[in-house]
Structure 1
């Protein structure tokens, strides 16, 4: 495993982290989850990324992780960097989502109970909430760190201007802030519209989720068919309309480029996101040990050449 330093800090994170968004809820057998977590840790993946509402149902990913942590990982707690988040929909009623102090701290306490952890390594404000003053949200993260429930603060899904403001407030409070978590892939280059600059200017790091664009940047859909059991066949987050004819042709051309490099399309996509030194890690999901190993092997590839980068750039834009 390759490790990268997170921002202007002493923390090093694996270049590839494991996200527990889709494959660790109650719809997946616990033994399958255990196998993926064990294999990831054996290969040097020390960072596991959670949130309060990961599942399905909400909370089940943290609960299942807590069960496996108690059985397998408790002796290795100091070799793990575990994240949780709050800010999106979690429970009904007026305090079940958003950026309020009430929601964030109540949610963090629930997350600690579900996981059985004494603290998380980083606690994120999961989204920018225009209905809550940024000072209030950052004050809640400051309390989470100062109370010992988290070691670091993180920001996720904030626009560049609000991100800069949030980092400024946290540093004025003396709260260590490491990461901005954002969606970033060959097919979604939104962070290049100011967010990567904000990360660089504030001496923090971007940690990228959905580097495979919910599975579009894999070999799974290159035939134009939708495999049974795939994320697109379920349609929760990846819709059929995402696979247009023009996009399919671009994906096939990217796959040809990957093949010339001796990589799969997914491995190329991971290598591409990691090309930028402001990106500390990519968060991947994995439904099996085989899939996990294939994605981690992206780190074995050679750096992209300038010619290859130009080819990807033309296709992605």
Structure 2
């Protein structure tokens, strides 16, 4: 396992992190989560990513139980706030009320007195940014989080938040973006802004929801128990990739990976990690063996020729438009009243 600083902060994270967005879902057992966390620890992973909304708030509880007995100082726990966690009008968003109540609930579910990185899961246009940042500053000053990060904010939103964080003297250190060889959206604007500001990338879906494992083959039925068959397992985010042109292009990576003694998944993960702006790439899993195998990509170094060949193979089907970052967040200040 390799380790990197989270941006220009002093926090060191494993360059592969374990995330339980999909592992601990309605279709996964507690035993699976425990086995996956153990496999992550055995692989040298020390960084764990979750969110209050995952699995209707139960994912944090499951991760907390799986990490029970692990030396707290030896792991980095990251969670998020934004999405609805209850039926009330104030049970969502980035208001002061929701942030301060949510951090306490997350810590209770995780069984810890602090998280290492507390992330604003999306930008909230219905709340003044000053209110959000002041509440996050109070979370840090109360010792409930060491660092603050965001997820899927645009470059402009990141710049505004970072400026306020500097005024408030709190460590605003990371952005969590979807990023893979098929989803290169952050490269145009978000990653350059974060490099300038000293913020690291916490990458989610580096394997494009499993498409970059090569297991989905055009013209063939999807593998049994794969994410494509599971309506409770975030499969809605997968639909856009399950097209013959995309899958055919991915299959072109098979011989390239084999020549390097890698799987397509390991090759794809190494492609993400070759970017120095990426501090850690978050892996999910439906089985512990997936964590064990994919984590082997943590120290793989790809040469320029290999990187170029991957780019050539996937360029016609890769998404690059930076507007997609904005599309992933609420567009209207009135979104919570809809």
TM-score interval, smaller chain: over 0.9
Normalising by the residue count of structure 1, what TM-score does the alignment of the two structures yield? Answer: 0.94
CA shift for structure 1 position 29: 2.4
Select 1:139's aligned residue among 110, 134, 137.
134
Cα deviation 1:216-268 (Å, max 9, x = unaligned): 11132135321222111124334445321211110111222212221111111
Alignment partners' CA distance in 1, 2:121 and 2:99: 9
1:117 and 2:117 correspond? no
Q: Residue in 2 aligned with 1:310?
A: 308
Q: Residue in 2 aligned with 1:228?
A: 224
Q: Residue in 2 aligned with 1:65?
A: 63
CA shift for structure 1 position 296: 0.6
In the alignment, structure 2 segments of 5+ residues that lack a partner are 316-338
Question: Structure 1 residues 157, 229: CA separation in 2 closer, same or farther (over 3 Å shift)?
Answer: same
Q: Residue in 1 aligned with 2:330?
A: none
CA shift for structure 1 position 103: 1.4
1:45 and 2:45 correspond? yes
CA shift for structure 1 position 27: 3.4
Q: How does 1:171-190 map to 2 (within 5 A)?
A: 171-190=166-185
Preserved contact between residue 49 and residue 83 of structure 1 (Cα < 8 Å): yes
Alignment partners' CA distance in 1, 2:238 and 2:46: 32
Select 1:85's aligned residue among 80, 83, 104.
80
Alignment partners' CA distance in 1, 2:279 and 2:175: 10
Alignment partners' CA distance in 1, 2:274 and 2:238: 28
Preserved contact between residue 65 and residue 115 of structure 1 (Cα < 8 Å): yes
Question: Structure 1 residues 69, 300: CA separation in 2 closer, same or farther (over 3 Å shift)?
Answer: closer
Q: Residue in 2 aligned with 1:19?
A: 19
Question: Structure 1 residues 308, 68: CA separation in 2 closer, same or farther (over 3 Å shift)?
Answer: closer
CA shift for structure 1 position 289: 2.1
1:94 and 2:89 correspond? yes
Normalising by the residue count of structure 2, what TM-score does the alignment of the two structures yield? Answer: 0.88
Preserved contact between residue 255 and residue 265 of structure 1 (Cα < 8 Å): yes
What is the aligned-residue RMSD (CA, Å)?
A: 1.5
Q: Residue in 1 aligned with 2:195?
A: 200
Question: Structure 1 residues 14, 239: CA separation in 2 closer, same or farther (over 3 Å shift)?
Answer: closer
In the alignment, structure 1 segments of 5+ residues that lack a partner are none
Preserved contact between residue 214 and residue 237 of structure 1 (Cα < 8 Å): no
Alignment partners' CA distance in 2, 1:241 and 1:210: 14
Matched residue count:
311
Q: Residue in 1 aligned with 2:236?
A: 237
1:283 and 2:279 correspond? no
Cα deviation 1:135-163 (Å, max 9, x = unaligned): 11111211110111111111111001111
CA shift for structure 1 position 300: 4.4
Q: Residue in 1 aligned with 2:325?
A: none
Preserved contact between residue 104 and residue 125 of structure 1 (Cα < 8 Å): no
Helix, strand or coil: the match of 2:119?
A: strand
Alignment partners' CA distance in 2, 1:28 and 1:156: 25
